[in-house]
Amino acid sequence: MPIQRLNHAVLHVRDVDASVAFYTEALGFRVKVALPGAAFLQAAGSTNDHDLGLFAAGSRAGASTAGHGTVGLYHLAWEVDTLAELHRIADVLTERGALVGASDHGTTKALYARDPDGLEFEVSWLVPAELLTPDLTMRTSPLDLDAEIARYGADTPGGIGVSVPVPS
């Protein structure tokens, strides 16, 4: 049987409490289990046991150099249901000084941010399959979130027929 999806990600962080605060307050994760030096978080819309594990590496841990001289994971991408939610998260990440970029990838509208340890992640909305048009080619352009909301609607469910099954 082929792989179906990513079940969870695990990050080594300097301070588990600071990372838990960031991921719960900025992205809406909830703590499922907290242990000394570790925490397991669940995304707001998930029924998964946990979507993100955080393990303490300690305050002396160096910064990740993945992609800057060493191999390693560049980022994780979290998907949201609507452009309204993407806009809300953009505002939260901006307020926290965590937003580092926003890109229009044609079929994906993406925000890029860094957590308290500088680990980069993406939050994205996917154009539903029924709205895909030939002009939506893979690209990287500046994201005009207000224009995308005008084009697709703030509350249009994203990813339907792409990453989310079409309702029966």
pLDDT score at 63 = 87
Q: Write the pLDDT tens digit of every residue in 15-31.
A: 999 999 999 999 999 99
pTM of the model: 0.92
Residue 3 has pLDDT above 80, yes or no: no
Residue 55 has pLDDT above 80, yes or no: yes
**For 28-42, 55-69, 93-107, which range has the lowest pLDDT when averaged over its residues?**
55-69
Mean pLDDT, residues 84-106 taken together: 97
Using CA atoms, how far apart are residues 144 and 65, in angstroms rounded to an integer? 30
Q: Domains of the chain by range and CATH?
A: 1-58 (3.10.180.10), 74-168 (3.30.720.110)
> DSSP secondary structure string, 79-91?
E-S-HHHHHHHHH
CB 125 within 8 A of CB 150: no
Residue 104 has pLDDT above 80, yes or no: yes
Using CA atoms, how far apart are residues 43 and 52, in angstroms rounded to an integer? 8
Mean pLDDT, residues 99-128 taken together: 96
Provide the mean pLDDT of the chain.
93
- The C-alpha angle 43, 49, 53, rounded to 5 degrees, equals 65
Output the CA–CA distances (angstroms, integers) from residue 142 to 14, 32, 46, 102, 105, in the order listed: 32, 36, 30, 6, 9
pLDDT score at 136 = 86
